Chains A and B, each alone.
Chain A
Amino acid sequence: MGTLADVQGLTVQFPNGSLALERVALSLHEGKVVVLLGPSGAGKSTLLKAIFAPDELQRLGYTVDWVERIVTGEPAYVPQRGALLDHLDAADNIKLAQAACGAELDATAWLEAVDLDGAIGSAGRGVDTLSGGQAQRLAVARVLAAGKKLVVMDEPSVGLDPVGVRMLARLLVTQARKHKLGVIVITHDISLAGGAADEIYFLEPNDHSLTRIEPWSGPTELDDPEVRQQRQVQLDATVEELLLREREPSASGKAKAPNFGDFLAPFRIAGEAIRGIGEPHLFRESMVVLRRTLIQSLVRPALFYAVVGMLLGFTVPYVIANISKDLEPRAVFTLIKGTYILSLAPPLSAIIFVATSGSAISAWLGGLRVNGQVAALEGLGVPARRYLWSPAWLGLSLSYLATFAIFTIAMAVGGYVLYESHGVEHAMEVLLTDFVARPPERRPYLIRALWSVIAYKLALASVVVAKGAEPKSRSDQVTAAMTSSVMRATLFVVITELFTIMLLQMFGG
């Protein structure tokens, strides 16, 4: 019986120096299921991160020390309700895991392995049609398909009825035994804990220690019904006693330390995206995300962008031309030509794009975070950087370029209607002359506009994806990230406009 993970003397301090865990020891072996119990906020998630990703905690300012730490591989993380990817159908969820580990793409065998009907794997069968139990089974099947030996499951029984809980417990035990998996289950569900656990630990919030509940003779689902029931009652009583101990006020002190990683996140995301574009690994699978991003950020709002662009293309010169009764509107139109499009299309399209498409993508990525889908992906060996951030970044970049083009053309169409109605000769040529035929002194303005589009493309995609990719545990963090990405991107646009104007002044534009 091989050891998959073993940690001894693990101590974790919050960024403010207070203790999160003290001298904790935990081992996980092949074919075994370990259950972590404890009150909410006791530090179960922190414990798992300290075991499997201590550098991530350290990056956030935590202090993580241990006497001994052995981890044989990256764990597969299965969040609540399975954290299935809802932009993929059931079969594709499994195939994505198979693609990540280089296995043959065949979902049927794994669906059967977790006792799921093969029809669930039919093409186009959305995961939102599955029951809670089916979703958890599919999540387990996905982990198995990924070839993972270490599995971490977070509240897997949420939403399941008692029968479903028992079936899940039995599934975990049998699959662990069959595939020599090491499974760690974080749960508040005593029925699941008793039914599946080979070992049960209780995380003590008062002294930040990890207590093993003993004696414990293994999963009750392997026992006779009478024995199972008796042992379950005893476990209930034990856990209740542990939970009812007087608690000290939480000293988590999860005060956030200054975090420059947040500031640099867009650059990291941009860099990761640029580096990831050329990677062949998961290329085909990431195209799903790219396509979804393009649909969300471009196809759906394209008409909206066209309408807004057309209205602005009409109203902006109309208002300018009517600032004085002393001016002939036609003269003003002939004078301003399409310069207003060249000047306004990049910033306006950028701001409207980030508020619309950017928010949509930010919300989608944030939702993936909150729902644990990102963690699940990582756990399956599917790098979110490659599978999500990079194609989403690329999709947003392409969408913005297309949006700029749509917006510009729409503004020209709006302007054309206005100019034509006022008898401006060669109206469309007049509107587009700054783009296609320009005198030397106008070239800097075209360069500025095109440069701005490139800058906005990079910035918007990076800010939106970075904010969407930020770790989130609450839904309000999703909206906060959306708002933040809009504000940051807008500020970037405004500052860039100012910066480029100053440069134009410097270079005599």
Chain B
Amino acid sequence: METSTQVGLGVLLALGISLPALLGATSGQKDLQVTVPASLPFGTAGSLTQIEPSGLGVSLYPHGATQDQKFLGLMNTGLSLTTWQMNYGPTYQREVTWPVLVGPSYKADDFVCGYSVSMGAGLFETAGAGSGIANAVERMVKSKIHGRLQTEESGCIIDVPYPEVERVSTTIDFEEGFARVGITIWSGGTPWLWLSAALEMEEREGAIQIHLRPGEVPVVHLFDGDFKNQILAQAEQCGAGQGGFWGLAVGALMGPVGAALGGLAGADLGANAGSGTATQKIPLETQKKVNDTLYGALADLSRTLSGMTRPIYPLQARPNDAFEIRLSDAPKVSPTGLSFPMCLRIAPAARTHGAGSPSSSYFPGLAPAETVTTGDAAITLSLNANATSQILHYVWDTGFLSEWGKSAFVFDALSDRLKIAAFTFDGVDPMLPPTLAASSSAGSPLSMALGAVKLGSMDTRTVWGHAKLNMDVNQKADILELTGKVSDLHVNCASKVGETQVLSPCLGDLLPIAAQFAQRKGAAYSFNGSQVLKALPELTYGGLDLKLSHLQVSVTGSPPVLAIRTQGATE
């Protein structure tokens, strides 16, 4: 063979060998990698910003990786992401992220005082949405005022049949700091009794206390008619003074009427009534009887209201999870309605993430949610950031979020979109509680930071995601649309190697696209407000049914206040 041919074949041979050699030399090259002791789970290690001297046994390769600490929390509390990045041009981003929860947090069973319930004055408009209240008062009046009025004073017996209570009309008017209640009892198409009282509300041991407005006595007026004339006639036969009979009659009336009224006012009303107008001409024994009757009725009401601080178990799905509410301050009464600042303690019976799992984030110095009543028949539940954080934590801690993240709704929707990615999608399962984050998106007032979200597996590694979810609520008639746009998306893989956990980049090619488009095209979830309200358990209290309609959800301000508003009506 000629020398030239040998040279040519030699070149071919060298060329043929060189490629496997070159590929072999480069195939083992490591990309970005962070090694963490396996005993250091996500979120619990404190900041790893100073990775070398951290003393936590954490190592980083290569040293040229840039580091970015992204604080996604609200008011410096919540989720902090430490991301190590290697950027190869604008599109190849290789990164691993270590999520950490920072800042103060509530214990799981602490009261969180960030709730407010308001009821517009319209709800007490007895000719409209408050008709149920008027009906309830009428039922109570009828239950007390029937049969005969029988009383004895100094050997004189008064025994007069009550007129048939044909109708009771009630008015409730709110003024600054108090409510004025008026009750008129009708018979034969004419009123025969009218009374009026001014009531105030205050907080006592977390419950509502109702009492007469100091300095204002109840006003009672007995109209002319048979009932009045019969009382006066019997009293005259007994030789009693006309004025004394007036007092006797009114005092005797105040027992049943006070009980009826107690459902709206309080125990003090009866006492004050007994010692007010009625007592001026009523002998002592009669007065005492009337007061006993009134106090008894108001004591029942007081016990009922103090019971509001007892735990309730409202969730059928988790019947052993206790919810306790209490007032954090005195209720506010204004011409437009009532509002109650409240605290809530949630004690789940079982915790999915274990007793040592992180608590909900706490934002110090945050004012309770303020709700402005507008005078209509609206009921509004407002949650400030602490309250929202508590609910989010509960939803996470009890596994609701995991269940939802693995539900057909999420799984089907996302797995379809993620088919092109080379990993097995198992659903969305956050290992850290969602925390509220500073909003980074215009028009998205509610932002949540989600850290250590388990997404699935890729080869032998687990895929973790960390992101901010910017929520927006849009209302079109009765349809509520929740739009979630993802921002600050970070994804990496982790695998356990011996006693260490190795964090390595994955899905880095898809990440910029996913982040870009998740931010642009949010996932929308629409639901019908009426159907949601229908799904709620029936709200019945003392025979009073509360019907809700026109569900509205809004988020305002920063820190955000979540307001859930419905129109209410009593039946």
Contact = CB atoms under 8 A, between A and B. Distances in A.
A436 B89 contact: yes
A331 B27 contact: no
A433 B90 contact: yes
B15 A433 contact: no
B8 interface: yes
A385 B8 CA distance: 14
Contacts of A441: 31
A439 B508 contact: yes
A437 B92 contact: yes
Nearest to A435: B89
Contact of B23 (A334, A437, A455, A504): A504
Interface string A467-509: 0000000000000000000000000000000001001101111
B8 A335 contact: no
Contacts of A272: 4, 7-8
A254 interface: no
A328 interface: yes
Interface residues on B, range: 35 or more
Residue among B5, B9, B24 with the most chain A CB within 10 A?
B5
A458 B86 contact: no
B76 to A, nearest CB: 32
Contact of A264 (B5, B18, B30, B31): B5
B497 interface: no
The B contact surface, by secondary structure, is: helix
Given A425-B90, A454-B15, A455-B15, A271 B23 contact: no
Given A334-B516, A440-B31, A268 B8 contact: yes
Given A451-B19, A500-B19, A426 B90 contact: yes
A401 B510 CA distance: 33
Nearest to A385: B4
Contacts of B88: 433, 437-439, 442
Contacts of B6: 271
Interface string A372-409: 00000000000001000000000000000000000000
Contacts of A425: 90
B90 A331 contact: no
A337 interface: yes
A503 B92 contact: no
A409 B26 CA distance: 26
Given A271-B11, A439-B86, A334 B4 contact: no
A372 B562 CA distance: 94
Interface residues on A, range: 35 or more
A274 B7 CA distance: 8
Contact of A266 (B8, B94, B512): B8
Given A270-B7, A271-B4, A440-B30, A509 B92 contact: no
Contacts, number: 129
A275 B92 contact: no
A233 interface: no
Contacts of A337: 89, 91-92
A231 B120 CA distance: 140
A429 interface: yes
The A contact surface, by secondary structure, is: helix
A271 B8 CA distance: 4
Interface in B497-555: 508-510, 512-513, 516-517
B512 to A, nearest CB: 6
A268 B6 CA distance: 7
Contact of A334 (B22, B30, B91): B91
Contacts of B154: none
A447 interface: yes
Interface string A406-447: 000000000000000000011001101100111111111001
Contacts of B2: 268, 271
A429 B93 CA distance: 13
B157 to A, nearest CB: 92
A269 interface: yes
A448 interface: yes
A454 B16 CA distance: 11
B23 A439 contact: no
Interface of A: 264, 266-272, 274-275, 328, 331, 334-335, 337, 385, 425-426, 429-430, 432-433, 436-444, 447-448, 451, 454-455, 458, 462, 500, 503-504, 506-509
Given A335-B513, A506-B20, 7 more contacts: A271-B2, A272-B4, A334-B513, A438-B88, A439-B92, A440-B26, A500-B19
